[in-house]
């Protein structure tokens, strides 16, 4: 973010604080306080990219979040969805892709502070610990988490989720068998390899044009508890708990503060809607089973 944009955003954030406080008071009183689900990619000091947050900034962001919000799991977000009540400011933390550097400082910090986290890993990269294609195109060689690292994180209490087999845009996948492999089989294999349930899935990219109803319904029928998008937006009690909207966190503190405290400009982005395309009698092994083949 340029210095001018940062200044303007800071002025907007502080200038709109009275409205935010009023909105928070009203929505809290009726139990409809929005919940922000945040997602990171890579926390490291080396080879910074637009999706990298430094270790020091990550710690300061977590410090600030802990000081202002209840840190909850995706399962707790869904519980508040279903009950239709949200009375306390809360956020949930997630990660996408699965970068090995996250295990140096970021994940140990969350584990030490007992902060719930769902960590979405791409299976093919975890199996070879190799870099992601979107990094290769930039000439970067940043390793992915290994299966052993994912297993160790799960053993320590981090919820491991599926980010499909490959980091591909599923909207471009025309073969039904391949789509099933990306959504269903990859999650089952990941659960078996780490020895822990894989209960959530985040589709790569996750914007409106990358989402598709049949893939979402396939995930629902496969036994996932929920799926995550990545186009922004807050989660409101009473909405479909299967779909968790998320907001990306980048290397800017004021933007995090602005988004986490419910930016009134972002309260009502169009929510991706689905309709059932797969018969309810469709049978498949639940992806959260650690004994799946």
Q: What is the pLDDT along the chain (293 residues), one digit of tens a residue?
A: 889 999 999 999 999 999 999 988 899 888 999 999 999 999 999 878 889 999 999 999 999 999 999 999 999 999 999 998 898 999 999 999 999 999 999 999 999 999 999 999 999 999 998 899 999 999 999 999 999 999 999 999 999 999 999 999 999 999 999 999 999 999 999 999 999 999 999 999 999 999 999 999 999 999 999 999 999 989 998 899 999 999 999 999 999 999 999 998 877 667 887 654 333 333 445 566 665 43
Q: How far is CA 39 from the centre of its chain?
A: 4
The range of the structural domain enclosing residue 239 comes to: 3-266
In angstroms, the CA 52 to CA 7 distance is: 22
285: in domain: no
108: in domain: yes
271: in domain: no
179: in domain: yes
In angstroms, the CA 156 to CA 204 distance is: 25
273: in domain: no
287: in domain: no
* Listed residue (203, 207, 205, 232) closest to 218, CA to CA: 203
164: in domain: yes
CATH number of 248's domain: 3.20.20.370
Domain total of the chain: 1
283: in domain: no
């Amino acid at each position: 973010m340029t210095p001018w944009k940062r200044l303007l955003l800071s002025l907007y954030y502080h200038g709109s604080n009275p409205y935010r406080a009023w909105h928070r008071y009203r929505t809290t009183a009726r139990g409809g306080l929005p919940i922000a689900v945040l997602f990171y990619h890579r926390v490291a000091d080396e080879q910074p990219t637009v999706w990298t947050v430094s270790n020091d900034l990550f710690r300061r962001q977590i410090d600030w979040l802990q000081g202002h919000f209840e840190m909850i799991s995706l399962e707790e977000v869904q519980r508040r969805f279903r009950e239709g009540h949200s009375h306390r400011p809360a956020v949930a933390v997630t990660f996408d892709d699965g970068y090995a550097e996250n295990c140096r400082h970021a994940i140990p910090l969350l584990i030490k502070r007992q902060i719930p986290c769902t960590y979405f890993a791409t299976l093919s990269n975890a199996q070879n610990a190799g870099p992601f294609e979107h990094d290769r195109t930039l000439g970067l060689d940043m390793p992915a988490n290994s299966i052993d690292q994912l297993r160790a994180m799960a053993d320590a209490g981090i919820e491991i989720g599926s980010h499909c087999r490959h980091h591909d845009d599923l909207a471009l996948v025309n073969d039904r068998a391949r789509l099933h492999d990306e959504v269903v089989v990859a999650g089952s294999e990941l659960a078996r390899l780490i020895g822990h349930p894989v209960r959530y899935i985040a589709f790569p990219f996750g914007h409106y044009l990358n989402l598709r109803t049949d893939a979402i319904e396939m995930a629902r029928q496969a036994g996932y508890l929920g799926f995550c998008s990545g186009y922004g937006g807050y989660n409101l009690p009473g909405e479909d708990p299967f779909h968790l909207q998320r907001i990306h966190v980048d290397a800017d503190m004021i933007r995090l503060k602005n988004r986490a405290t419910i930016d009134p400009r972002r309260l009502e982005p169009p929510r991706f809607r689905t309709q059932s395309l797969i018969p309810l009698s469709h049978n498949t092994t639940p992806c959260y089973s650690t004994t799946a083949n």
